[in-house]
Amino acid sequence: MIRHILKIMWNQRRSNGWIFAELAVVAAVLWMMIDTFWVDYRTYHAPLGFDIGNVWRFKLSDLDAKAPGYMPDSLYHSSDPEDLTRLMTQIRQNPEVEDVCVTFYSCPYSNGNSWREVKPVDGDTIYAAHMESFQMRNVTPEYFRLFRIRTVDGEPVYDKVAGRHNVIVITPEMAEGFYHGAPNIVGRRVYHGGHDLSSEIAAVSTSIRTNEYERPEASYFQCLEGETYNSTVSSFGASSAEFCVRMKRPYTQNEMNLFLDGMGERLKVNNLYVYGITPISSFREQQLSQKEREANNKISLMVFMLVNVFFGIIGTFWLRMQNRKGEIGLRMALGAHRITLERYMYTEGLCLLAFTLPLIIFAFNMVYMDQLDSYRQPLTFMRFLMTFGFIIFAFNMVYMDQLDSYRQPLTFMRFLMTFGFTYLLMGVMICIGIWFPVRKAVRLAPAEALHYE
């Protein structure tokens, strides 16, 4: 049957050529949409590296000089670090509280943007030549326990940093840039903020992302313990701290307000006090609102394009089958079975789609070669000529960086999944476009169907 179908398709090559061109263009557009959806979906559902469940951020401030209970400087016998530590202790002692930590511009979804120059003391990669700036998160050791951050080996990071002074925790991306996968990274030292300061690497955490729409970046945590804690709190001020509390069970806003009322004076140390609370999930919603609007607009556009593609392909094959009623009637008059005719038409439509597959193979070859080595394969006219049509589109998408290779790498699995779903979807559309007119045509009496011939 396949040989017979190919012979007929060749004899009808003029009309089939236009259908083939349409399928190639549609495949290109559909592939781009599916690839975009693939990247967004995979990025959104990738691990964040932390957990914000039941975590609340307590808002801190200093009493005004005219406020009741204000302590003047003459009676003030403690420092900002001491006041903040005492407040953490008082809140942690409540049986409903699981853990407490303090950060400075480093809380999840806080839009913190602190950067510092860092250089490995004994690294042998490009970063060893000069200082590079990386995002820095100033956190107390309890931060890792509160947000459930683990090492790349699955162990709690808190156990690696508790009680240790002047240590940092780096992400895998930073470790790869510094040491290129070398073993025994823990224990090495890095310079930061100039060559006068150095810290020991206490652990390598899992990848940390700022939100669900971004990929993980190279960054590190500066553990605030001892003198590092005192100097940081004194520099920024205790009231500027991001005071995070994890409760042992989920709380509503009203329940948390009652919790604060029950804490009473324990929410105040000298002039430092808690004046409000906000769940971390609210900061997440605020930060993602713009991203989600953009994602919804993108999905709406994709749905609109998909509907157009759907009706375009179905309409093309619908009209094609309508114009071939005479051929169907002739085959029935010559004794062809109804089921055989339906199978024949489905196979013919799918063969037209399958003819674009060689272009896909060439397209992937272009993508894969250029991803690995564009030096040995120059961009010549012959190279474009041999990959005419859809291959040019696919090549341009990669070469002009139209595909999102920043958040998700261009891997064989990504290519296979996106193109596989593209062709599966197009195959379903073609079968729907063939099904109804062929179903009607094969149920006509042969004599009536021959009128169309």
pLDDT digits (tens, 9 = 90+) for 408-427: 777 778 878 888 888 888 88
pTM value? 0.77
Measured between alpha carbons, how far is 390 from 26 in angstroms, rounded to an integer?
10
CB 221 within 8 A of CB 143: yes
What per-residue confidence (pLDDT) applies to 306? 82
Length reported for the chain: 453
What per-residue confidence (pLDDT) applies to 384? 43
What percent of the chain stands above pLDDT 90? 39
What per-residue confidence (pLDDT) applies to 380? 46
CB 410 within 8 A of CB 366: no
pLDDT tens for each residue of 242-293? 999 999 999 999 999 999 999 988 999 988 999 999 999 999 999 999 888 9
Query: What angle is formed at CA 109 by the lines to CA 103 and CA 115, rounded to 5 degrees?
Result: 60
At 433, is the pLDDT very low, low, confident or very high (cuts 50, 70, 90)? confident
Specify whether the backbone of 440 is left (phi greater than 0), alpha (psi in -120 to 50) or beta. Answer: alpha
Of the candidates 171, 178, 158, 20, the one whose C-alpha atom is nearest the C-alpha of residue 100 is: 158
Measured between alpha carbons, how far is 262 from 14 in angstroms, rounded to an integer?
83
Range scoring the smallest mean pLDDT among 198-207, 327-336, 382-391, 428-437? 382-391
pLDDT tens for each residue of 69-102? 788 877 778 899 999 999 999 999 999 999 999 9
pLDDT tens for each residue of 350-369? 887 877 776 656 555 555 45
What per-residue confidence (pLDDT) applies to 377? 40
Structure tokens of 281? 């999930």
Measured between alpha carbons, how far is 243 from 422 in angstroms, rounded to an integer?
48
At 180, is the pLDDT very low, low, confident or very high (cuts 50, 70, 90)? confident
What per-residue confidence (pLDDT) applies to 359? 62
What per-residue confidence (pLDDT) applies to 451? 62
Of the candidates 295, 291, 306, the one whose C-alpha atom is nearest the C-alpha of residue 33 is: 306
At 294, is the pLDDT very low, low, confident or very high (cuts 50, 70, 90)? confident
Q: Is the pLDDT of residue 150 over 90?
A: yes
What per-residue confidence (pLDDT) applies to 349? 78
Query: Looking at residue 404, what DSSP letter applies?
Result: -
What per-residue confidence (pLDDT) applies to 374? 38
Measured between alpha carbons, how far is 55 from 43 in angstroms, rounded to an integer?
24
Query: Looking at residue 179, what DSSP letter applies?
Result: H
Structure tokens of 193? 């903020």
Of the candidates 423, 358, 410, the one whose C-alpha atom is nearest the C-alpha of residue 387 is: 358
pLDDT tens for each residue of 393-413? 554 554 444 567 777 777 778
Higher-confidence residue of 403 and 313: namely 313
Q: Is the pLDDT of residue 11 over 90?
A: no
At 231, is the pLDDT very low, low, confident or very high (cuts 50, 70, 90)? very high
Amino acid at 283: F
Q: Is the pLDDT of residue 320 over 70?
A: yes
- Region 374-397 average pLDDT: 45
Q: Which among 197-206, 330-339, 364-373 has the top mean pLDDT? A: 197-206
Query: What angle is formed at CA 42 by the lines to CA 205 and CA 397, rounded to 5 degrees?
Result: 115
Distance of CA 271 to the CA centre of its chain: 43
What percent of the chain stands above pLDDT 70? 80
Q: Is the pLDDT of residue 220 over 90?
A: yes
Q: Is the pLDDT of residue 171 over 80?
A: yes
Mean pLDDT of the chain: 81
What per-residue confidence (pLDDT) applies to 341? 74
What per-residue confidence (pLDDT) applies to 448? 63
Range scoring the smallest mean pLDDT among 26-30, 107-111, 159-163? 26-30
- Which residues 6+ apart lie within 8 Å of 21 measured at CB? 389
Q: Is the pLDDT of residue 379 over 50?
A: no
Q: Is the pLDDT of residue 43 over 80?
A: yes
Amino acid at 112: G
What per-residue confidence (pLDDT) applies to 373? 35
What per-residue confidence (pLDDT) applies to 95? 94
Measured between alpha carbons, how far is 117 from 89 in angstroms, rounded to an integer?
33
